A and B are shown apart, each in its own frame.
Chain A
Amino acid sequence: MDLAIQISLTVNGVAVSRRVEPRQSLVDFLRYGLELTGSHVGCEHGVCGACTVRVDGAIARGCLMLAVQCDGCRVETIEGVAGTGEVFDLQQAFAQENALQCGFCTPGMLLTAQDLLARKPAASAQEIREALSGNYCRCTGYHAIVEAVRKTAEARGRA
């Protein structure tokens, strides 16, 4: 039984049309269908945040949306957001603060942090911790991650 459905969407600004199985998650579609492997698959039940992407401008769990649901949507991944330079300063701060060790959580951390700073440019360390509480770092490098985000907020405030 062929259940596949044709969808059209934009991913990182590029128009894409594909046939997808309804059961395929957005993050699996990005990784296997489009070979955008920056969004990571961790827990597959919305807890770890490694699959965080933006759908129509809002951060969402790539493992908790189906690709078919994104028909007509605008999806952005770490490849797109890094490619435009939008998070360049955050990336630099992560490197300087040693805020990534294995790097598995980093794409989700960057997208979540960028979402926070867009809404609360002067976020406190406490607000940063709360905003990142849905993103797991199994190297447990949280302190450095919070510092990197805080320093980016400060630097953007001065700019």
Chain B
Amino acid sequence: MKPVPFAYHRPASLDEALALMERYGADGRVLAGGQSLVPALNMRLAAPAALIDINRLPGLDGISLEPEGLVIGALARHEAVEASPLVARHAPLIAQAMPHVGHRAIRTRGTVGGTVALADPAAELPACLVALDAIVRVTGRGSRRDIPVQRFFRGIYTTDLAPGEIVTAVVALPIGPGWRSRFTELARRHGDYALVGLAAHCRVEGGVIREARLAFCGVGATPVRASRAEATLSGRRPDADVVAEAGRALDADLDPPGDVHASPALRRHLARVLLARAVAQIVT
């Protein structure tokens, strides 16, 4: 199908973009990478009166190490994040997740800000940000907020963004000494939406997991922290019994949906498989 007609604006500054968002209100949509919005337009699931194309706003695509952490600009494309030595060094979890995001022709366009603002529960990056306890930086007219990511993702395609606000960056603390990361997911075919994905971030000391942060995607309305499995692993050497115990703890952590792709029981099983794989890779 083809989209319904809409007006197109390409603001040259963030102020201009925010003014356009205010002018159109709910009838305007921000166009970033467009890899989810344009399909929605083509299928007429979305029919905005205007698109506000932020792709050429200056200064929003940077990736830099700042005093507050690793700052990834909203217009950084998945491909750039995947290739960034800074991300590989300071947020390896995010670097590991990037190759799983769609296909390359999608990653050359899709943006960090777009993924975060869309809040697709199957998306990889939001789970990574939850595991890393990152911050989502948003700007409105005359306001700027740093939102802890756990508060940012509120439901399926639902975030803490207020009308008129736009995501400008995500900020993650650089990985600390002893911390190790593993992103892993299972999809029926490379590049498809994950049936289940796991962003695992652990502090390991002499083969013992001191702290574990596990965030799953594809199993709920938002990225889901597996707090019982985390507690099961913490302070222990993850031998086969401990990993099996953590896997059983996942049953209480996760309440995955069933759909045409996988039943809840299959998703629970796959979550345990991913947990075992991630822990094995983290401690070896």
- Chain A residues at the B interface, C-beta cutoff of 8 Å: 1, 3, 5, 21-23, 25, 28, 44-46, 49, 52, 55, 58-61, 63-66, 68-69, 71, 112, 115-116, 129-131, 133-134
Taking CB atoms and an 8 Å cut-off, the chain B residues in 149-192 that contact chain A are 189-192
Q: Is the interface of B mostly helix, strand, loop or mixed?
A: loop
Residue contact B108 to A45, C-beta cutoff 8 Å:
no
Residue contact B109 to A65, C-beta cutoff 8 Å:
yes
Residues of chain B within 8 A of A65, CB atoms compared: 34, 38, 109
Residue contact A58 to B79, C-beta cutoff 8 Å:
yes
Smallest CB separation, A34 vs chain B (Å): 18
Q: In the complex, A59→B104 CA distance in Å?
A: 8
Residue contact B103 to A134, C-beta cutoff 8 Å:
yes
Mark the stretch among B1-9, B66-74, B268-276 that contacts chain A.
B1-9
Residue contact A59 to B38, C-beta cutoff 8 Å:
no
Counting CB contacts under 8 A, is B43 at the interface?
Answer: yes
Interface Cβ pair total, 8 Å cutoff: 94
Residues of chain B within 8 A of A68, CB atoms compared: 8, 10, 53
Residue contact B7 to A22, C-beta cutoff 8 Å:
yes
Residue contact A134 to B104, C-beta cutoff 8 Å:
yes
Residue contact A63 to B106, C-beta cutoff 8 Å:
no
8 A-B pairs with the lowest CB-CB distances in the bound complex, closest first: A134-B103, A22-B8, A45-B39, A58-B108, A23-B3, A133-B190, A59-B105, A64-B38
Chain B contact-residue range equals 20 to 34
Residue contact B5 to A22, C-beta cutoff 8 Å:
yes
Max count, chain B CB within 10 A of own CB: residue among A3, A28, A52, A69? A69
Residue contact A49 to B6, C-beta cutoff 8 Å:
no
Residue contact A66 to B38, C-beta cutoff 8 Å:
yes
Residue contact B8 to A3, C-beta cutoff 8 Å:
yes
Q: In the complex, A55→B42 CA distance in Å?
A: 20
Residues of chain A within 8 A of B190, CB atoms compared: 129-130, 133
Residue contact B109 to A134, C-beta cutoff 8 Å:
no
Q: In the complex, A22→B53 CA distance in Å?
A: 11
Pick the residue among B5, B42, B103 that contacts A63 (CB under 8 A).
Answer: B42
Q: In the complex, A69→B56 CA distance in Å?
A: 10
Pick the residue among B6, B10, B106, B191 that contacts A130 (CB under 8 A).
Answer: B191
Given A58-B108, A61-B105, 14 more contacts at CB 8 Å? A3-B5, A22-B7, A23-B6, A45-B39, A49-B103, A49-B105, A52-B105, A59-B104, A61-B109, A64-B38, A65-B34, A65-B38, A66-B38, A134-B106
Q: In the complex, A100→B109 CA distance in Å?
A: 28
Residue contact B6 to A3, C-beta cutoff 8 Å:
yes
18 intermolecular pairs with C-beta atoms under 8 Å apart: A3-B6, A3-B7, A22-B6, A22-B8, A25-B42, A45-B43, A52-B105, A58-B108, A59-B104, A64-B35, A64-B38, A64-B39, A64-B106, A64-B109, A69-B34, A131-B104, A134-B103, A134-B104
